[in-house]
Amino acid sequence: GLQRYNLRSNVDLNVTKSTILRVDLSGAYLQTNYPGVGTSTIFRNITTAPPYLFPDVFSDGTISGHPRASNNRINPYNQLMESGYAKEWRSNIQSRVDIEQRLDFITSGLMVKAVVSYDGASTYTMTRTRTPFQSIATGRGVDGKLLYTRNGVVGSPDFGEPAEGSSGQKNIYLESSINYNRVFGNLHSVTGMLLTYQKEIQTQTEALAFRKQAYVGRATYNYASRYSIDANFGITGSENFADGYRFGIFPAVGVAWYPSSEPFYPEELKNVVSSLKFRASIGRTGNDNVGGSRFLYRATFNKAAGGYNLGIGGTGGLNGLSGIVENLFDSPFLSWEIEDKKNYGVDVELFKGAVNMQVDYFDNLRKNILLQRRTVSGVTGFRVNPWQNYGKVANHGIDASLNVNHSIGQAKLTYRGNLTFARNKILEYDEVPQLYPWMNITGTRLNSPNLYVADGLYKDEDFIITSNSNGTKSYQLNTGLPVSSLSSGVRPGDIKYKDLNEDGVINQFDQTRAYGNPAVPELIYGFGMNLDYKGFYASVFFQGAGNTSTIFGGNAPASFFPFTFGFDESSVRKEGLNRWTEANPSQDVLYPRLHSVSFANNTAQSTWWLRDASFIRLKNAEVGYRFSKNWLKKIGLETGRIYVMGNNIHVWDSIK
């Protein structure tokens, strides 16, 4: 069950003619109930437990189980309905106070502003679990009733003692700024801002609060809506780095030119190209969320029991004594990851606003990426390889959007579309020189799969096949064919791989990142339309992704590959029928030869399991009617509509 209560208050107060005070308050209280077992565990067992192993419950209501209740032999219905319960209570409060003071008496357009914000959140959980008795049906008695035996699980109808947990967090944000905005002579528009902020996040589990401090400045100038320049800087300090390296400086500048506002721009051209703007910018940003650990620059130590051998003991063995061992060496020079950005764009308005188009090209270089050094020799004395700002990745692409407005009588139509394409390349990974060029990570794209290259399935002609007196066949690979180190005993129907280095063995030296696309799509796009006609309206929007790949079985092999848990107790889908068999020795099948146990040669990540993960989905669609305001006023309402809406309605993809 779910219960939620919300409260919100927004107050804007004109304290004086030049002073505005805003007070915003909101709060939420939420209570939820869950099964005693986590939902992820339940869903995992739903996908792996064969439906024929046991019923959810027996016909007389007795709780069912399996003689060996482990792995995929756990009844998910029991976990959902009989494992107990968990209750969670959450409370959140957000508050913000702004005060603005105009200083026009000093100079027109000058203003100061201060902001104080406090957010608090707390969660309390109480869990009471139980393990019910589980039974196995062994037959029926003379009365026709089921006979049972216990499956060996030590159960109880009683709930255990409550297990309690809690978490909490508070956020404090302080900001002050001075702003300037003024137009001189209807030609010169000038704005400026200086701002400083400090934020602190205190969690229940951390002794020290997370803190960040920054100083920000911005200045803009626009001349006659023809030329503009925007310059800004940020000086941001992070607790994640040592004194002297905590603050990063991040400047940026952008310029724009509006040819359509120039005196020489032909008036007759404005009927076609109504507005034209060219833009360019260059700047730098930073990232301090590095390593997943706080204070990574500091050395760490562990207490090791028997970590050092000091002398020889009385029995003649080494005298091991507990002591302190160094874990991470200090890295005082760690600092911000940097990204240098360049952007060039054009904005076009056609036919007096009927068509609006924006196109950008970006070229980014991310450097000083935090990584753990890989080329440090073990003889240097580092117990754990040190961290350093060393990695480098280039990223470039385009970003475009298009909007078209059109009317047919009283019907108004709007078409819209957007597209983003981005491709990256790893320039520095600090990897040990590889034996073969196809093994290098440097020069490839982020998240590119590392795969064996499938060369079809083994055929009978790839083997010398002999039979003994009992008719049992034995298979020996023909001379010249590489031997798989992934599994012994390959047979016809198993996946055959290319021996990239031609050493006669299929192993890690035959994996390459030359196939497929990254798991993160390089192409994201969307398109849709809106229709309005006399109060009726309809809208539809499609979204798609391209240049991306997935690996079948990559994240959930137990639920994807048939017979992972043996012939009798594996969850098998109908896709398993599309497989190689002696009666169907086809190369065009989904599954190679199936095995009663996991067979690494066939389950290894390879191009056999590589698929194009591109898709298009109908993200949302809506049809409705808006009532006229005049009619609504008669019944005391300002707005009203009836509608039908759907989200994520359908997906089209090429995965088979």
Sign of the CA dihedral with 28 first, then 34, 38, and 40 last = negative
**What is the mean predicted confidence (pLDDT) over 160-175?**
94
Q: What does the pLDDT look like over 398-413, one tens digit per residue?
A: 999 999 999 999 999 9
Residue 462 carries which DSSP code? G
Distance CA 120, CA 170 (A): 4
- Is the pLDDT at 554 greater than 80, yes or no? no
Give the model's pLDDT for residue 320.
64
Give the model's pLDDT for residue 351.
94
**What is the mean predicted confidence (pLDDT) over 301-305?**
71
Q: How confident is the model at residue 555 (pLDDT cuts 50, 70, 90)?
A: low
* 3-state SS, residue 33: strand
Tell me the Cα Rg of the chain. Answer: 33
* 3-state SS, residue 376: coil
Nearest residue to 557 (alpha-carbon basis) of 69, 51, 47: 47
CA distances from 188 to 110, 191, 277, 278 (A): 16, 10, 18, 19
* 3-state SS, residue 438: helix
Distance CA 133, CA 210 (A): 48
Nearest residue to 622 (alpha-carbon basis) of 526, 525, 532: 532
Residue 423 carries which DSSP code? E
Mean per-residue pLDDT of the chain: 91
Strand-pairing partners, residue 606, are: 452
Nearest residue to 405 (alpha-carbon basis) of 307, 288, 529: 529
Distance CA 512, CA 532 (A): 53
CA 99 from chain center: how many Å?
38
- Is the pLDDT at 433 greater than 70, yes or no? yes
Distance CA 184, CA 188 (A): 5
Distance CA 613, CA 656 (A): 10
Specify burial of residue 82 (Cβ count, 10 A radius: 0-12, 13-18, 19+).
buried
Structural contact between residues 500 and 439, judged by C-beta atoms closer than 8 angstroms: no
Number of Cβ within 10 Å of residue 14's Cβ equals 9
Nearest residue to 263 (alpha-carbon basis) of 226, 301, 308, 310: 226
Q: What does the pLDDT look like over 468-511, one tens digit per residue?
A: 888 888 999 999 999 999 999 899 999 999 999 999 999 999 99
Name the token pair of 589: 């099948």
25's CB contacts (< 8 A; 6+ apart) are 7, 8, 9, 10, 93, 94, 95
- Is the pLDDT at 226 greater than 70, yes or no? yes
Name the token pair of 130: 């139980």
- Is the pLDDT at 559 greater than 80, yes or no? no
Instruction: Tell me the pairing of strands 2-16 and 473-477.
Output: unpaired
Q: What does the pLDDT look like over 346-371, one tens digit per residue?
A: 999 999 999 999 999 999 999 999 99
Distance CA 533, CA 518 (A): 44
Percent of the chain scoring above 70 in pLDDT: 95
pTM for the complete prediction?
Answer: 0.84
Distance CA 296, CA 388 (A): 10
What one-letter code names the amino acid at 413? L
Residues composing the chain:
656
Name the token pair of 97: 């106070």
Q: How confident is the model at residue 425 (pLDDT cuts 50, 70, 90)?
A: very high
Give the model's pLDDT for residue 634.
82
CA 441 from chain center: how many Å?
22
Nearest residue to 560 (alpha-carbon basis) of 569, 578, 545, 572: 572
Among 37-46, 166-175, 498-507, name the one with the lowest average pLDDT.
37-46
Among 71-75, 268-272, 430-434, 624-628, name the one with the lowest average pLDDT.
71-75
186's CB contacts (< 8 A; 6+ apart) are none
Residue 280 carries which DSSP code? E
Distance CA 398, CA 396 (A): 7
Q: What is the dihedral of CA 424, 428, 430, 432, to 10 degrees?
A: 80
Query: SS in 3 state form for 485-508?
Result: CCCCCCCCCCEEECCCCCCCEECH
Q: What does the pLDDT look like over 583-624, one tens digit per residue?
A: 999 999 999 998 877 788 998 999 999 999 999 999 999 999
Q: How confident is the model at residue 50 (pLDDT cuts 50, 70, 90)?
A: confident
- Is the pLDDT at 308 greater than 70, yes or no? no
Query: SS in 3 state form for 574-642?
Result: HHHHCECCCCCCCCCCCECCCCCCCCHHHHCCECCCEEECCEEEEEEEEEEEECCHHHHHCCCCCCCEE
Report H helices in 151-226: none
Residue recorded with tokens 């924006």: 358
Q: What does the pLDDT look like over 183-216, one tens digit per residue?
A: 998 899 999 999 999 999 999 988 889 999 999 9
Give the model's pLDDT for residue 314.
64
Among 7-21, 295-309, 359-373, 609-623, name the one with the lowest average pLDDT.
295-309
Q: What does the pLDDT look like over 71-103, one tens digit per residue?
A: 778 888 888 888 899 999 999 999 999 999 999
Q: What does the pLDDT look like over 142-152, one tens digit per residue?
A: 888 888 888 76
Given phi > 0 = left and psi -120 to 50 = alpha, else beta, which region is 139? left
As a 3-state breakdown, the chain gives helix, strand, coil percent values, each rounded to 5, of 10, 55, 40
Where b means 16+ CB within 10 Å and e means fewer, 93-125 reads bbebebbbebeeeeeebbbebebebebbbebeb
Q: How confident is the model at residue 339 (pLDDT cuts 50, 70, 90)?
A: very high
Host H or E run for residue 512: strand 511-512
- Is the pLDDT at 61 greater than 90, yes or no? no
**What is the mean predicted confidence (pLDDT) over 529-557?**
89
* 3-state SS, residue 454: strand
Structural contact between residues 19 and 67, judged by C-beta atoms closer than 8 angstroms: no
CA 317 from chain center: how many Å?
52
CA distances from 167 to 91, 164, 194, 205, 653 (A): 11, 11, 37, 8, 42
Q: How confident is the model at residue 309 (pLDDT cuts 50, 70, 90)?
A: low
364's CB contacts (< 8 A; 6+ apart) are 339, 340, 341, 342, 394, 395, 396
What one-letter code names the amino acid at 405? N
Distance CA 570, CA 557 (A): 12
Host H or E run for residue 47: helix 39-48
Main-chain phi, psi angles of 162, to 5 degrees: -60, 135
